[in-house]
Amino acid sequence: MATVELLTSEMVVPAEPTPAGAVWLSNLDLAARRGYTPTVYFYRSNSEPGFFAVDVIKDSLAKALVAFHPLAGRLGSDDTGRLQVDCTGEGVVFVTARSDYALDDLMDNFVPCREMRDLFVPPEPAPSPPCVLLLAQVTFLRCGGVVLGLAAHHSLVDARSAAQFVETWASIARGSSDEDTLLSPCFDHKLLSARPAPVVLYDHPEYKPEPTPPAHAVTAVSTYASALITLTKAQVSELKGRCEGASTFRAVVALVWQCACRARSLPQEAETRLHTMIDMRPRLSPPLPQGYFGNAVIRTSAVATVEEVVSNPVGHAARHVRTATSQGDDYARSLVDYLEGVDTMNLPRSGISRAHLRAISWMGMSLHSADFGWGSPAFMGPALMYYSGFLHVLHAAGKDDAVVLALSLEPESMPEFRKVFAEEVVRLDRAAVLATP
């Protein structure tokens, strides 16, 4: 594996004075994974002088931190010990480095894993108070390309919040005239406060410890093999046609769930659960402000037997995924009220049963098109996976309506998954060809 040499490390502070005080964190913030979310953006050199100039990136970061000033603060706690964000203006970590990787070699070899994360994202401190909330690394490659690596603390930032910040940062860097049209961040997390008289209408099993698994469903927390798989526009279209009008996310997740159950050789009677996350910003009544900056996603799931998932057409699994992703305001408010009565420090945040899958959508966001003035990334995705059975679905950078799947499975299951999934893709291709006039 190629190496990375550290060049500089410093703190970047907001370009102007920013408000002091504290940002109250909602129960959904406290329920989020207590750590950082590392992502990478690969940029191909345009061979022009000043490509990804450090001064431009750093100065625009300082300007973006004015509007997003809580990111320049520190994770803290109030008098009761409840986590909050202290708006201290101390800044974010900014690192520059160089690597003997060439971009094409990197893209050929990259899969989300600990080794890649350690190369291209700054080392993470302990994620407890008083820790920094954002770390960034610009790595210059042998070919002239660049990798931008970010790590944002999940207690303040979910994927849509990260996209909003990066979009603003990139817009400032490229001197865009549309800067005034960008969404202003909203830090009023009390919009997601529990009700004075909590009303818990649902069971919310996703926030409870998983029952002791049977022998076939041992938990795999950290050992995994990961893969990046691209589905073309035509393949996605054919798959959606088999799933009775399902969204791209639901159709793709249904196929991965089906193939994973087959690849894992699970007993037909075993229970398999599809875990997912829903962005509740537009689903609440009234909806959250479009610029709401914080955690506004909730965990949901659908359950079936392995036999039900693998023996039926993929559209059947897609209907299960739809059930898991169709919750509304009453469900979210019930969850917030439920979390008010539990110790959020002890919520399950590690692995899931070997029979299960956790799927997250990064679609519908601008993460894949972050243009800092030298073009959109050739690739954007997670820097690592947290455990086996994790799936990210995201837009394929620069490819019209194609999607990328970032998947982790048990090392012994991944070869069979690749085989089974490839067979399904061949069927999609053949059907697409036959359907072409």
Choice among 59, 105, 371, 429 that is catalytic:
371
Q: Reply yes or no on whether 371 is catalytic.
A: yes
Find where tokens 């000033």 sit: 69
Amino acid in position 258: Q
Choice among 69, 154, 320, 392 that is catalytic:
154
Question: Closest Cα to residue 97, out of 52, 133, 46?
Answer: 52
Number of other residues whose CB lies within 10 A of the CB of residue 227: 16
Cis-peptide, bond into residue 123, ω within 30° of zero? no
Amino acid in position 396: A
User: What are the catalytic residues?
Assistant: 154, 371
